[in-house]
Amino acid sequence: MKYNLIHKTSYKYHETVNNYHSLVCLKPKDLEGQICDSFKLTITPSPNEIIERKDYFGNTVHYFSIHVPHQELIVQAVSKVQSLPKIQKNISTVSVQDCKNILWNNSELKVELLQYMLQSPFINWDAEIQEFALSCLQGNIVLYEGVMRLCHKIFKEFKFVSNATSIYTPIKTVLKERRGVCQDFSHLAIACLRSLGLAARYVSGYIETLPPIGQQKLQGSDASHAWISVYIPEMGWCEFDPTNDMIPQERHIITAYGRDYSDVAPLKGVIFSSGGHQLSVSVDVIPV
């Protein structure tokens, strides 16, 4: 599939802002199953300079700052992406327990994966989360299937509710209230896996949504999306989407990998202002 991606973020400030610094993590990755043909970042008011670099995790980030007084800021990222059919690897029959043993005892693997096995800024767990994890991932279960079960359980038992949670909502609250959005479900799934000594990371990207049958697709109705990636011996990193209870396919487009949301936030900013602001985001994933 080929997609045109338009991700537009705008901030409206109540008071004039004189200084703004930002880090943007919006460029789709070049991967085995995905090619980013072009990427263009347009910012209004226009900054003097946009600096691109690769971060610690190999994601592309852009830094810019604005020093003219402004009341509205628009960051628009437009990219053309080819998403190729994902090759289904042979499913490993390694069990949860065996995987754990391999990860913690193979020192080379451990050095590579440890940061995805420990707590991170948005990922921590307690006995309840571990218990929730164990309901799908008993030691003798095949890991791949266990992760599928976990995703299915989250999909079934949790309600997708926008604006009920924020990025600062603790995972245990999400578990208790059984609702949230994709990043909450991804964080919960990651916490579950790490609580059992497994390695899991956060995937930030987009998903093409389909309009209800018989209706026109609305503009800006797509969304940035988040799902997870789990390390499975013999297979490597495998992706799962707990929000949609599916294995990500061509309609999933990847922008970044990290330990959790904090490593890959699409837009981070620091402003100097005396008032509040309003944020609006619109995303279009248009197949071409």
Partner 1 sequence: MITEVKDSLLKAYLEEIESYDEILDANQQVKPYWKKMFDTLEKLGMEQLVVRSKELTNKLQENGVTYNVYGSSEVSARPWQLDPIPFLLEKSEWDYIAKGLKQRAMVLDLMLKDIYGPQLLLKESVLPPELIYDNCGFLRSCMDVKLACEKQLLIYGVDIARGPDGRMWVVDNRTQAPSGSGYALENRTVMSAILPELTTGMTVNRLSPFFKTFHKEVTALTGKSREHPTIVYLTPGSGNETYFEHAYLASYLGYTLVQGDDLVVRDGFVWLRSIDGLEKVDVIIRRVDDDWCDPLELREDSRLGIPGLLQAMRSGKVAVVNTPGAGVLENSGLLAFMGAACRFFLKEELILPSIATWWCGHKHELNYVIENIPRLIIKKANRKQIFRSVYGRLLTPEQRMELIQQILQSPHEYVAQEEIGLSTTPSLVNGKLVPRLAALRAYLVANGDDYMVMQGGLTRSSAVKGRFEVSHQHGGCSKDTWIVSDTEIAQKEIRIEMPKESVHHHTSLPSRSAENLFWVGRYAERTMSTTKYIKLLINALHESVKFGNASKSEHIEILLKGLTHLTLTYPGFLDTEKPDLLANPYQEIHKIIYDLKILGSVASSTEAFLKGVISVSDKWNHDTWRAIYSIENTFKKIKRPDEAYSNSNTMQKIMDKLHARLFTFYGIVADTMPRDSGYYLFESGKLIERILLKISTIRACFSFKSESYVENELIEAVLINHHLLIYYRQLYKSNLNLEAMLDMIFLETKLPYSLAFQLDELGRYLSELPKPLYTERLNQAQKAVLQAGLKIKLADVSQMIIFEQDTLYRVHLDSLLAEVFDLILSVNNSLTNLYFTHTEIQHSFLSSTENLSQNEI
Residues lying near partner 1 in the complex (CB under 8 A) are found at 9, 18-19, 21-23, 48-49, 51, 53, 55-57, 63, 65, 67, 107-108, 110-111, 114-115, 118-119, 160, 162-163, 165-167, 181-183, 204, 207, 209-212, 218, 221-226, 243-244, 261-263, 265-274, 277, 279, 281
Of the pair 82, 115, the CB lying nearest partner 1 is at: 115
Q: Is 136 exposed, middle or buried (0-12, 13-18, 19+ CB in 10 A)?
A: buried
Which of residues 142 and 284 has its CB atom nearest to partner 1 in the complex? 284
Mapping DSSP to helix (H, G, I), strand (E, B) and coil, where does residue 67 land? coil
DSSP-assigned beta bridge partners for residue 284: 6
Nearer to partner 1, 29 or 225 (CB): 225
Comparison of 59 and 95: residue with beta carbon closer to partner 1: 59
Which CB, 144 or 284, lies closer to partner 1? Answer: 284
Residue 29 vs 251, nearer CB to partner 1: 251
Q: How many angstroms separate the CA atoms of 205 and 188, rounded?
A: 18
Instruction: Using the structure block, give the residue that is written with the tokens 């359980």.
Output: 153
**CB 19 to partner 1: min, Å:** 7
- Whole-number CA gyration radius for the chain: 20
Min separation Cβ 197 and partner 1, Å: 12
For 88, residues 6+ apart whose C-beta sits below 8 A from its C-beta are: none
For the CB of residue 110, give the shortest distance to partner 1 in the complex, in Å. Answer: 6
Residues 6+ apart with CB under 8 A from 37: 79, 80, 81, 82
**Smallest distance from the beta carbon of 70 to partner 1, in angstroms?**
14
| Nearer Cβ to partner 1 (87/210) | 210
Shortest distance, CB of residue 112 to partner 1, whole angstroms? 9
Say if residue 134 is exposed, middle or buried (CB neighbours under 10 Å; 0-12, 13-18, 19+).
Answer: middle
Phi, psi (5° rounding) for residue 234? 75, -20
Residue type present at position 44: T
Place of tokens 């011996």: 233
Cβ 224 to partner 1 shortest distance, Å: 4
Shortest Å distance, C-beta 89 to partner 1: 24
266, 16 in Cβ contact below 8 A?
Answer: no
Q: List CB contacts of 184: < 8 A, sequence separation 6 or more.
A: 165, 169, 171, 174
